[in-house]
Amino acid sequence: MNILFLCVANSARSQMAEGLARKMFGSAHKVMSAGSKPTHVSHHAIDVLKEVGIDISKQKSKSVDSIIPEAIDLIITLYGEEVCPVFLGTVKKIHWPLPDPARIPMTDSNRRLDKFRKIRDQINLKLENMKLEIS
């Protein structure tokens, strides 16, 4: 199964989901992520995944326009209040409404990292539940 995690900037939630899913599913599924307005991979996302033994420092923020719709079996959208990018095609879609931890205005780095950890853990739980369904 080819799984695409989709959000706007492809910097935090979808990048964390890609890293967590790759570790969880191994080679059983092809996992990728993209966004409608890609920026860069958040250093906070890199840091909180490193805490659980996953290195996403080499991942790049990618545009949804670079994805071939026919190559995707499942899209998981990860957005809260933002307008999610449109992905054409008849592929199965699941929505996980998670707030963007990068948009939370915080000056305290530890509190900001806690928000990223919370989203990481929520994604991981959703992936564990999904693994039971697709295995």
User: CATH number of the domain that 110 lies in?
Assistant: 3.40.50.2300
Quote the strand ranges of the chain, DSSP E: 2-7, 30-35, 74-77, 92-95
Count the domains in the chain. Answer: 1
Q: What is the pLDDT of residues 99-126, one digit of tens each?
A: 888 877 666 677 889 999 999 999 999 9
Average pLDDT, the chain: 89
Rounded distance, CA 59 to CA 56, Å?
5
Rounded distance, CA 37 to CA 10, Å?
8
pTM: 0.92
Which residues constitute the domain of residue 75?
Answer: 2-134
- Phi, psi (degrees; rounded to nearest 5) at 77: -90, 140
Rounded distance, CA 117 to CA 123, Å?
10
